[in-house]
Structure 1
Amino acid sequence: MSAPFTLTEAAAPTGSIGSGWLWAVSVAVLLGLLVADFLVTRRPHEVSLREAVGWSAFYLALPLLFGLWLWSAFGGAPALDFITGFMVEKSLSADNLFVFMLLLTAFAVPAEVQQRVLLYGIAGALVLRAVFIAAGAALLQAGTWAFLVFGLILFLSAIKILRQALSGHAGEQDTSRMRSVRLLRRLMPVTEDYRGTRMVVRENGRRALTPLAVVVVAIFATDVVFAVDSVPAVFGITDDPYLVFTTNAFALLGLRALYFVLRSALAKLVHLNHGLAIILAFIGVKLVLHWAHGIWPAVPEVPTPLSLAVIVLVLATVTLTSWLARRRNRP
């Protein structure tokens, strides 16, 4: 957290570094990057590894430069909060990518329109994160009990993810049973084949959805689930709404390109969900301790540098154990 939080202080999150003009510039830059991404995907094409690596490097450089600017403009504490929050959100976004991969496979999305589907999913995720961040900030304004609520949400999410990982069903999606997909199919007819990047066409004299519209709705539905996990997680690092928003935005912006870089590597990270469960549980503990510290100052808090070290260590460990597990299982 950026600063200790006690009951002698106002029952609200610490002051945000985000002034009105900074919010305006940040949102304008975000919209500009989304428009640029839409222009890139306007012409459907299969993404080459070279193109994906180039865009991924660009979107990884942006948060690093932004972190350096935060350091020079506001000091080391906000910059460290941002980098730690970005690490949390980027690790959770890897789970996003894995589910996106399963959905694209389940709906047999053509390679040339996959990046457009991913971009719709990312845009939807950004809107949902903004809504959840506003709701989270309002909860924090209501009192310190919100930290306890966030901590419990993360504990429940960690248990769910760990159970799925141990059962071998992590990330599985039965698209035929998704309520959003079933409702959409009842409301409008769906064509048998894709029609480029079009989601609505006229067929036999009536409007019909293409499978592209169905997969986009399915991805939006999963975005809601991921927002429930990720927003409380980053509030466990900082209670500054501006930093919470920017960590989410930077973590999501590069997902489209990163998907095409990591889609083969994601399947090899067999212990990824084990690590994500540990990270969520750890941040849940941090939030509960932060809440308890506001009531009993003797209760210790987890400093941000320790949080960053734990996150990096967990991700490095699951990468190594995944590699060792696959090596043992080779025929």
Structure 2
Amino acid sequence: MAHTVTLAAPLETVASPLLWGVSIAVLIALLAADFVVTRRPHDVPMREAVGWSVFYLTLPAVFGLVLWWAYGSRPAIEFYTGFVVEKSLSVDNLFVFMLLLTAFAVPSALAQRVLLYGIAGALVLRGVFIALGAAVLQAGTWAFLLFGAVLLVTAIKVMRDARRDEAHTVDIDQMRSVRLLRRFFPVTNDYDGGKMVVRRAGRRALTPLAVVVVAVFMTDIVFAVDSVPAVYGVTEDPYLVFATNAFALMGLRALYFVLRNVLDKLRHLDYGLAVILAFIGVKLVLHWAHGIWTWLPEVPTLASLGVIAATLATVTITSMLANRRDAAAASLDPVSRV
């Protein structure tokens, strides 16, 4: 008796090859513009940072409306939901960047160049993982179970780390990438402007700028493993996955200078991210199970957007209340006023 093999259906996408080409060209142009802006190292004033942040928040808002007009409500809602997820994860990414910049004592004038290298590396890595994710989904619906399991394990790890009372610090001497670089290349003690390689005593040496860029790039790999399955839990369209990642990452450089004084005050952000990752993980598992047991429910994209937005709003409010409570307690503590 002959057996038939059912192949997975091709992933639906709203994008034509022309739209892919135009989108990538625009992304490269925006990156080039950012490199021009950061060519001359300088401290970023708040007015400049806010201006760029508004610009990079306006772009996805307009893009979603264009999607709605051209392709209907479903792709637009999936894009907006995916963007909120990716932006939330990218803010956590930004917090790690802040810790690395502090640990490496990066001069404030060079911070935006380091961030831009990190964002460019993240975009390349997300592109690779998006392509791999699409290939895995083509192999069968079991990929949704795999992605769901990855997100659930990540959520547990994020929640466990968030519950630790220890301060957020980075020991650069324990980072494998840093130790590997120092083993094979000499590293200078001081920064030399925007240079990553200099000549000292007749031989080439890396500056601390090169080391921190590599460290940032390695953290990008970790975040790519989490973020790509998360947005595939919102939409199966590789183009929308690409677009949400690109829009979420492009505004990070400017957003860092807006949020650097308040990032550490979002003390419950990791709890919210753990809830979001767990929720999307369950959503992916349900999607896989629905293909086998059709009576099991699936989570609509609009409901996902509501849960994610409510979670972020909740952890923001609880963080503000906790900060206010600690400030009030400190003001009543006679020791803290000495």
- Under TM normalisation by the shorter chain, which class is it? over 0.9
1:13·1:240 contact (CA, 8 Å) conserved in 2?
no
Q: 1:323 is matched with which residue: 320, 323, 337? A: 320
Quick one: distance in 2 between partners of 1:169 and 1:19?
Answer: 49
In the alignment, structure 1 residue 232 sits paired with structure 2 residue 229:
yes
TM-score (normalizing by structure 2)? 0.94
Residue aligned with 2:192, SS: coil
Superimposed CA distance per residue, residues 265-311 of structure 1 (whole angstroms, 9 cap, x where no aligned partner): 11100100000000000000000000001111111000001000000
Aligned to 1:156: 153
Structure 2, unaligned stretches of length 5 or more?
331-338
- What is the percentage of aligned positions where both structures have the same residue? 70
In the alignment, structure 1 residue 124 sits paired with structure 2 residue 126:
no
Structure 1, unaligned stretches of length 5 or more?
1-7
Structure with bigger gyration radius: 2
1:12·1:142 contact (CA, 8 Å) conserved in 2?
no
TM-score (normalizing by structure 1)? 0.96
Aligned to 1:201: 198
Quick one: distance in 2 between partners of 1:13 and 1:321?
Answer: 43
What letter matches 1:113 in structure 2? L
Residue aligned with 2:84, SS: helix
Bigger Cα displacement from structure 2, 230-239 vs 169-178: 169-178
Deviation at 1:10, TM superposition (A): 5.2
Tell me the C-alpha RMSD between the 2 structures: 1.2
Quick one: distance in 2 between partners of 1:137 and 1:72?
Answer: 26
Bigger Cα displacement from structure 2, 179-188 vs 33-42: 179-188
Quick one: distance in 2 between partners of 1:68 and 1:170?
Answer: 42
Q: 1:75 is matched with which residue: 54, 72, 75? A: 72
Aligned to 2:306: 309
1:125·1:223 contact (CA, 8 Å) conserved in 2?
yes
Residues 135 and 169 from structure 1, CA distance in 2 versus in 1: closer, same or farther, beyond 3 angstroms?
farther
Q: 1:253 is matched with which residue: 250, 253, 258? A: 250
Quick one: distance in 2 between partners of 1:315 and 1:62?
Answer: 21
What letter matches 1:197 in structure 2? G
2:7·2:139 contact (CA, 8 Å) conserved in 1?
no
Residues 9 and 279 from structure 1, CA distance in 2 versus in 1: closer, same or farther, beyond 3 angstroms?
farther
Quick one: distance in 1 between partners of 2:182 and 2:108?
Answer: 23
What letter matches 1:195 in structure 2? D
In the alignment, structure 1 residue 15 sits paired with structure 2 residue 12:
yes
In the alignment, structure 1 residue 291 sits paired with structure 2 residue 288:
yes
